[in-house]
Amino acid sequence: MKKIYECEKCGVVTDDRGHLCVPKAVDSMDSYCGRSGDDAHMCDSIREKAGYTCVTCGRTAEKPELVCNTLKLH
């Protein structure tokens, strides 16, 4: 699997670090999914690309496979 990055500012996850304002590499989905993310202040650079959320923890992701209990946003 490609490397996964989480934005340290808002918690959005993606496999393209260039889409995040403050990217931080994470080990696996287990290290972030299931923990609360702060999407209230989602980075502008990812807002349009973040099309999925985890219905368990509310974490927002760019691709469905990056969260464990996926719901499509748009």
Residue 60, helix vs strand vs coil: strand
Q: Which residues contact 60 (CB under 8 A, 6 or more apart)?
A: 11, 12, 13, 37, 39, 42, 50, 52, 53, 54, 73
**Residue 16 CA: distances (Å) to CA of 36, 49, 55:** 21, 11, 22
The number of folded domains in the chain is: 1
Per-residue model confidence (pLDDT) at position 5 = 93
Tell me the pLDDT tens digit for each residue of 43-60.
777 777 788 988 888 888
Q: What is the pTM of this model?
A: 0.69
* Residue 54 lies in domain: 4-72
Tell me the pLDDT tens digit for each residue of 12-43.
888 988 888 889 999 888 888 876 655 556 77
Per-residue model confidence (pLDDT) at position 48 = 74
Of all residues in the chain, what percent carry a pLDDT higher than 70? 89
Residues in the chain: 74
